[in-house]
Chains A and B, each alone.
Chain A
Amino acid sequence: MTDVRPKAVRRLGDVVFANLAFFAGVSILATLATVAAFLFAQSVPAFTGPEIAAAEDGFLAYVFPFVFGTVYASVIALIIATPLAIGIALYISHFANRRFAQILGYAVDLLAAIPSVVYGLWGILVLAPFLNPTFMWLNENLGWIPFFSGQVSATGRTMLTVGIVLAIMVLPIMAALIREVFLQTPTLHEEAALALGATRWEMIKMAVLPFGRPGIISAAMLGLGRSLGETMAVAMVLSPAAVINFAVLTSTNSNTIAANIALQFPEAGGNYSNLLIATGLVLFGITMVVNMIARWIISRRAEFSGAN
Chain B
Amino acid sequence: MNKVLKLGALAAASALVLAGCAANEEPAAETTGAGSSNTEASVELSGTLNGSGASSMAAGQEAWIAAFQIANPGVTVNYDPTGSGTGRAQFMEGATSFTGSDSYWNEEELAGSFPSCEAGTLPWEFPIWISPIAVIFNLDGISTLNMDGATVAGIFAGEIKMWNDAAIAASNPGVSLPELAITAVHRSDESGTSKNFTDYLSAVAPNVWTVGAIEAWPAEFGGEGAQGTSGVVSAVTGGNGTIGYADASRAGDLGLVSVKVGDEFVGYSAEAAAAVVDASPVVEGRESFDLATKIDRNTTASGAYPIVLVSYLMGCNDYADDAQAELVRAWASFLVSEEGQNAAATSAGSAPISATLREKAQSIIDAIK
Q: Could you list which residues of chain A lie within 8 angstroms of chain B, going by C-beta atoms?
A: 54, 65, 124-125, 128-129, 151, 153-157, 235-236, 238-243, 251-252, 255, 263-264, 266-270
| CA–CA, A267 and B191, complex, Å | 7
19 A-B pairs, CB-CB below 8 angstroms? A124-B234, A124-B235, A128-B238, A129-B238, A154-B224, A155-B185, A155-B224, A155-B235, A156-B238, A235-B227, A238-B188, A239-B185, A239-B188, A239-B235, A251-B223, A264-B216, A266-B55, A267-B85, A269-B85
CB pair A154–B189 under 8 Å, yes or no, is no
| CA–CA, A100 and B226, complex, Å | 41
| CA–CA, A128 and B237, complex, Å | 13
Assess whether B239 is interfacial by the CB under 8 Å rule.
Answer: yes
Given A125-B234, A269-B89: A264 in contact with B190 (beta carbons within 8 A): yes
Assess whether B64 is interfacial by the CB under 8 Å rule.
Answer: no
| A268 proximity list for chain B (CB < 8 A) | 83, 85, 190
CB pair A157–B240 under 8 Å, yes or no, is no
Identify which of B188, B223, B238 contacts A263 (C-beta below 8 A).
B188
Closest to A54 in B: B216
Q: How many A-B residue contacts, CB cutoff 8 Å?
A: 90
CB pair B222–A252 under 8 Å, yes or no, is yes
Interface membership of chain B positions 202-221, coded 1 if the CB is closer than 8 angstroms to chain A and 0 otherwise: 00000000000001110100
| A270 proximity list for chain B (CB < 8 A) | 85
Closest to B190 in A: A267
CB pair A263–B234 under 8 Å, yes or no, is no
Closest to B194 in A: A267
| B183 proximity list for chain A (CB < 8 A) | 153-155, 251
| CA–CA, A151 and B234, complex, Å | 20
CB pair A251–B222 under 8 Å, yes or no, is yes
CB pair B241–A154 under 8 Å, yes or no, is yes
Interface membership of chain B positions 180-199, coded 1 if the CB is closer than 8 angstroms to chain A and 0 otherwise: 01010100111110000000
| B190 proximity list for chain A (CB < 8 A) | 263-264, 266-268
Assess whether B99 is interfacial by the CB under 8 Å rule.
Answer: no
CB pair B86–A155 under 8 Å, yes or no, is no
Smallest Cβ distance from A56 to chain B, in angstroms? 12
| CA–CA, A54 and B214, complex, Å | 10
Smallest Cβ distance from B131 to chain A, in angstroms? 16
| CA–CA, A153 and B240, complex, Å | 10
